[in-house]
Amino acid sequence: MASLKDIQRKIKSVKNTQKTTRAMKLVSSAKLKRTEELAKRSRVYSAKLTEMMDEIAQKINDVGADASDNLFFRQNPNPKKVDIVFVTADKGLCGGFNSQTIKRVNRLLKEFKENGVAVRLSGVGRKGIDYFKFNQISMINEIVGLSSSPNFEDAASFITEIVNSYVSGETDKIVLVHNGYVNMISQEIREDQLLPVDVSRLPKNATHAKSELDIEAEDENALLAALTRKYIEFSMYYALIDSLAAEHAARMQAMDAATTNAKEMVKTLSIKYNKVRQEAITTELIEIISGVESMK
Amino acid sequence: MKLMKLEIITPKGVIYDGEAKQVTLPGSEGEFGVLPEHATLVSLLKTGIITIEMADSKKTDIAINTGYVKVDESKVTCIIDGAVALHADDSDIAAKIKEATELLKSAETSNAAIASAVSRVEHIGKIR
């Protein structure tokens, strides 16, 4: 039987936890707004870059087999070695946000293994890195701190290393996995093939078939390569922002649930406290009465 | 005179979005000017200054590091890594000039290109 003091102490501790979770929820909602703003600004850039990329890719496709010689666009039906890049959060306490990403990465690892494909893993975010380290799955590349404050330069230099090994022929495919933002209450695992660029997945735009395209550079491959790299770097950066927004949304939700649960718990504990107090009073009363009775 | 649509976009936001009479761009093969109804082309841009002649014939300069441009008959789209706009009627033009100089100096290209761009920025600062 818990004593009155024990219950009181427990109520206090739950109330303190509730304060923390409520504060964390508020912090996350403020940060989410900021991240959304960031995402909105880079969306315009992303849209334009994709549009330009798409236009060139379509032109290349129109030319036919000859153009698919380009390293970045050549599809490889039987990849031998694949790079998986995942993005998780640096911090926990955000529900199933990180574990969902990890689960998907594990599934991919298993799938590739069954097909006899060698896989290299690179990770952003402490949570995912810790998990794979604990399970003794080695990573070629890891970075902590980038997922909580995305910046374009670091994201670009991180992905460039991976792109370079693709260009040198070490790997045949790059897949990016992250947990993306859908809305305030839901996130969605996104799995994108960065390289080779999947032309069929770029949005179709009918308007640009009309005009001819003149590439004003001495080596058009250089332009295309530079543009493709920029496209990939930006995809990486955008994945980071998307992931951050999703993380804050997930944390908001988790903390909201925790606050509600704490409230519930305080309620049950208070009822218990009152019952125990009442019981103690009743016992005392009976003792006094029986004492008086025996003195008669 | 005909006008064309001009968009200058960086990862941090839209720098310029509006009509223009003429725009001069620092292409990787040399500076080139674009008027409305120019033939479609795509080019790399190197560190330098974009000069825009706006619809009201006023001129605006924008310092950029690197980027791409896509020109078609009615529209010019510049996708730039980093850019600082130097508007003529800006009150804090000195601060903007400083910012632009820093941006240019941090660009990864030949020193000659940076030097020429920086001196142009300084010149813009003097004449205003």
How large is the ipTM?
0.72
What letter would DSSP give residue A215?
B
* Chain A: closest CA distance from residue B5 (Å): 14
Q: Does B108 contact A at CB distance below 8 Å? A: no
Q: Quick one: closest CA in B to A212, which residue?
A: B40
Number of domains, chain A? 2
Q: Quick one: closest CA in A to B69, which residue?
A: A52
Q: What is the pLDDT of residue A226?
A: 80
Q: What is the pLDDT of residue A278?
A: 95
Question: Are A132 and A274 in a shared domain?
Answer: no
Mean pLDDT of A24-44: 89
* Chain A: closest CA distance from residue B128 (Å): 31
Question: Are A270 and A160 in a shared domain?
Answer: no
* Chain B: closest CA distance from residue A88 (Å): 22
Question: Are A11 and A147 in a shared domain?
Answer: no
Question: Are A273 and A243 in a shared domain?
Answer: no
Neighbouring C-beta atoms of residue A296, cutoff 10 Å? 4
Q: What is the pLDDT of residues B58-100, one digit of tens each?
A: 888 888 888 888 888 888 999 888 888 887 666 677 777 777 7
Q: Does A231 contact B at CB distance below 8 Å? A: no
Chain A hits for B27, CB-CB cut-off 8 Å, are 216
Q: What is the pLDDT of residues A158-200, one digit of tens each?
A: 999 899 988 888 888 899 999 988 888 889 998 888 888 776 6
Cis, peptide link before residue A79, omega less than 30° from 0 = no
Q: Locate tokens 């033009």: which residue?
A: B93
Helix (H) or strand (E) holding A81: strand A81-87
Number of domains, chain B? 1
Question: Are A190 and A241 in a shared domain?
Answer: yes
Question: Are A142 and A280 in a shared domain?
Answer: no
> What CATH code is carried by the domain that includes residue B99?
2.60.15.10
Question: Are A126 and A233 in a shared domain?
Answer: yes
* Chain B: closest CA distance from residue A48 (Å): 7
Residue A36 corresponds to which amino acid? E
Rounded Cα distance, A39 and B111, in Å:
34
Residue numbers of the domain that contains B11: 4-127
Rounded Cα distance, A247 and A239, in Å:
12
Residue numbers of the domain that contains A283: 4-21+258-295
Rounded Cα distance, A135 and A146, in Å:
23
Mean residue pLDDT of chain A comes to 85
Q: Is the pLDDT of residue A209 over 80?
A: no
Cross-chain residue pair A217–B44, CB shorter than 8 Å: yes
Give the burial class of A212: count Cβ atoms within 10 A of its Cβ; 0-12 exposed, 13-18 middle, 19 or more buried: exposed
Q: Does B109 contact A at CB distance below 8 Å? A: no
